[in-house]
A and B are shown apart, each in its own frame.
Chain A
Amino acid sequence: MSAAREELEGQLHHTLDERYHHRHPFNLRMHAGELSREEIRTWVRNRYYYQTRIPIKDGLILSKAQEPAFRRDWIRRIQDHDGNAEHDGGLSLWLDLAQAVGLERRSVEALEDILPGVRAACDAYVEFVASHDLLESVAASLTELRAGALMRERAAAWETHYRWVEPAGLAYFRARTTQAPADAEEGLRFVLENARTAEDQDRCLAALERKCQILWNLLDAVDAANARPRLARRAQLRNDPDDPMLVLPERAVRLNGSGGEILALCDGKRSAREIADALRKRHPDVQNIENDVHHFLAEMRRLGALEHNDRRT
Chain B
Amino acid sequence: MKAPRPYNLVAELTYRCPLRCAYCSNPLGHAAVRDGLDAETWGRVFREAADLGVVHVGLTGGEPTVRTDLAAIVRTASDAGLYTHLVTAGMPLPPEDLGGLVESGLRSVQLSIQDSRPETSDRFAGVAAFERKLAFAAAVRRFDLPLALNVVLHRENLEHIDEHVALARQLGAHRLELANTQYYGWALANRAALLPTRAQVERAAARVDAARREPNAPEIVFVLPDHHGDRPKPCMGGWGRRIVVVNPEGLVLPCHAAAELPELTFYSVRERSLEACWNAAPGMNAYRGEAWMHEPCRSCPERTRDFGGCRCQAWALTDDAATTDPACALAPERERMLRIRDEAERDAPALVYRGAPVS
Contacting residues of chain B (64-103) with chain A, CB-CB under 8 angstroms: 81, 83, 85
Whether, in the assembled complex, B241 has its beta carbon less than 8 Å from a beta carbon of chain A, the answer is no
Whether, in the assembled complex, B181 has its beta carbon less than 8 Å from a beta carbon of chain A, the answer is no
Provided the pairs A247-B55, A252-B56 are in contact, do residues A216 and B85 lie with their beta carbons within 8 angstroms? Answer: no
| Known contacts A234-B108, A234-B146, A250-B175; 16 further A-B pairs (Cβ under 8 A) | A19-B215, A233-B144, A234-B145, A236-B83, A238-B55, A238-B81, A247-B55, A249-B83, A249-B148, A250-B110, A252-B7, A252-B8, A252-B55, A252-B56, A252-B83, A304-B146
How does the 8 Å CB contact mask read for A209-243 relative to B, with 1 for contact and 0 for none? 10000001000000000000000011010100000
Distance of A216 Cα from B215 Cα, bound (Å): 9
Q: 20 A-B contacts, Cβ less than 8 Å apart? A: A18-B215, A234-B107, A234-B145, A236-B83, A236-B107, A238-B55, A238-B81, A245-B55, A248-B83, A249-B85, A249-B174, A249-B175, A250-B108, A250-B110, A250-B175, A252-B7, A252-B55, A252-B83, A304-B146, A304-B174
For A302, the closest partner residue in chain B by CB is B219
Whether, in the assembled complex, B339 has its beta carbon less than 8 Å from a beta carbon of chain A, the answer is no
Interface residues, chain A, with chain B CB atoms under 8 Å away: 18-19, 23, 209, 216, 233-234, 236, 238, 245, 247-250, 252, 304
A27 shortest CB reach to chain B, Å: 12
- Residue with the highest number of chain B CB atoms closer than 10 Å, among A209, A233, A245, A248: A248
Interface residues, chain B, with chain A CB atoms under 8 Å away: 7-8, 55-56, 81, 83, 85, 107-108, 110, 144-146, 148, 174-175, 213-215
For A234, the closest partner residue in chain B by CB is B146
| Interface of chain A, main secondary structure | mixed
Contact call B146/A249, Cβ cutoff below 8 A? yes
A206 shortest CB reach to chain B, Å: 10
The 7 closest A-B pairs by CB, nearest first: A249-B108, A247-B83, A234-B146, A249-B146, A247-B55, A236-B83, A252-B7
B148 proximity list for chain A (CB < 8 A): 249-250
B174 proximity list for chain A (CB < 8 A): 249, 304
Distance of A19 Cα from B144 Cα, bound (Å): 28
A248 proximity list for chain B (CB < 8 A): 83
A250 proximity list for chain B (CB < 8 A): 85, 108, 110, 148, 175
Distance of A122 Cα from B304 Cα, bound (Å): 37
For A210, the closest partner residue in chain B by CB is B213
A210 shortest CB reach to chain B, Å: 10
Distance of A23 Cα from B148 Cα, bound (Å): 26
A22 shortest CB reach to chain B, Å: 12
Contact call B144/A18, Cβ cutoff below 8 A? no
B129 shortest CB reach to chain A, Å: 23
Distance of A216 Cα from B56 Cα, bound (Å): 34
B146 proximity list for chain A (CB < 8 A): 234, 249, 304
A226 shortest CB reach to chain B, Å: 21
B55 proximity list for chain A (CB < 8 A): 236, 238, 245, 247, 252
For A216, the closest partner residue in chain B by CB is B215
For B174, the closest partner residue in chain A by CB is A304
Contact call B7/A23, Cβ cutoff below 8 A? no
A234 proximity list for chain B (CB < 8 A): 107-108, 145-146
A216 proximity list for chain B (CB < 8 A): 215
Contact call B215/A247, Cβ cutoff below 8 A? no
Distance of A245 Cα from B145 Cα, bound (Å): 20
Distance of A60 Cα from B83 Cα, bound (Å): 52
B9 shortest CB reach to chain A, Å: 12
For A21, the closest partner residue in chain B by CB is B215
B56 proximity list for chain A (CB < 8 A): 247, 252
B213 proximity list for chain A (CB < 8 A): 209
A236 proximity list for chain B (CB < 8 A): 55, 83, 107
Contact call A23/B108, Cβ cutoff below 8 A? no
A33 shortest CB reach to chain B, Å: 23
Distance of A236 Cα from B83 Cα, bound (Å): 7
Distance of A209 Cα from B214 Cα, bound (Å): 10
Distance of A247 Cα from B89 Cα, bound (Å): 23
For A254, the closest partner residue in chain B by CB is B7
A197 shortest CB reach to chain B, Å: 19
For A243, the closest partner residue in chain B by CB is B53
Distance of A304 Cα from B219 Cα, bound (Å): 10
Contact call B215/A23, Cβ cutoff below 8 A? yes
B8 proximity list for chain A (CB < 8 A): 252
A241 shortest CB reach to chain B, Å: 16
B53 shortest CB reach to chain A, Å: 9
B202 shortest CB reach to chain A, Å: 16
Distance of A238 Cα from B174 Cα, bound (Å): 22
- Residue with the highest number of chain B CB atoms closer than 10 Å, among A216, A234, A245, A247: A247
B74 shortest CB reach to chain A, Å: 15
Contact call A18/B214, Cβ cutoff below 8 A? yes
A246 shortest CB reach to chain B, Å: 9
